[in-house]
Chain A
């Protein structure tokens, strides 16, 4: 089955810096890669996703890149703000099987 590894487990940055979170997956059949943000005490919410026919996707300060050959994908947050502080989860799925596998999460702390 699919296995998703996520690094780093914690990341501390200064406000305005960039943050990068990396994930690798094992199943080459996976074709959907979402990222979820979970603020303290709240539910995970989708912030961006990328599909296997796209190499990069950007939404304002957030971007995701996908390297299918190497089986890794990354989340990039530019100009970080304190409200970006949260736990971020990557995930991978073969949508034919409807089974989403999550990484272990990255706790991002943005200091003012």
Chain B
């Protein structure tokens, strides 16, 4: 089954304790992204990756790190979590398709990780 998986699904931690949220996709997609979802703010992109070893900042990258050593995995790292990083996090993978002479980019989202930083 084609899917994006994330772990853990729920995490409660304390300020300053390093954590990693894993993301894996089995669709051989080149593109992967991390988003955070906060009430009233929608989905904001944290980081994205266009291929192995190619990553770039999204709109809200402060306090986060990512790596893309393999095509299928794109972990999100919080080196020193703070309470303002309490949020719902989604990983997504996508491919650039072509139809009718125009490109499109459908994002496939993981199930989400609800993180609470005390």
* In the complex, chain B residues whose CB is within 8 Å of the CB of A53: 100-102
Contact A100 B105 (CB under 8 A): yes
> Which of these, A9, A89, A101, contacts B40 with CB under 8 Å?
A9
Find residues 30-74 in chain A having any chain B CB closer than 8 Å to their own CB: 31-32, 34, 36, 42-46, 49, 51-54
Interface status of B96 (Cβ within 8 A of chain A):
yes
Interface bits A1-24 vs B (CB < 8 Å: 1, else 0): 100001001000000000000000
* In the complex, chain A residues whose CB is within 8 Å of the CB of B48: 98-99
Find residues 81-118 in chain B having any chain A CB closer than 8 Å to their own CB: 90, 94, 96, 99-107, 109-112
Interface status of B58 (Cβ within 8 A of chain A):
yes
Interface status of B43 (Cβ within 8 A of chain A):
yes
How many of A's residues come within 8 Å of B, CB to CB?
Answer: 29
Contact A89 B43 (CB under 8 A): yes
Q: Cα distance A57–B103 when bound, in Å?
A: 16
Contact A99 B45 (CB under 8 A): yes
* In the complex, chain B residues whose CB is within 8 Å of the CB of A9: 40
* In the complex, chain B residues whose CB is within 8 Å of the CB of A100: 33, 45, 105, 107
* In the complex, chain A residues whose CB is within 8 Å of the CB of B12: none
> Which of these, A49, A96, A101, contacts B104 with CB under 8 Å?
A49
Contact A95 B103 (CB under 8 A): yes
The 4 residue pairs across chains A and B that have the minimum distance between CB atoms? A51-B102, A43-B109, A104-B42, A95-B103
Q: A32-B105, A46-B107, A95-B105 are in contact. List 10 more A-B contacts (CB 8 A).
A: A34-B105, A43-B112, A51-B102, A53-B100, A89-B43, A93-B105, A98-B50, A101-B59, A102-B44, A103-B42
Interface of B with A (CB < 8 Å)? 31, 33, 35, 40-45, 48, 50, 58-59, 90, 94, 96, 99-107, 109-112
Interface of A with B (CB < 8 Å)? 1, 6, 9, 31-32, 34, 36, 42-46, 49, 51-54, 89, 93, 95-96, 98-105
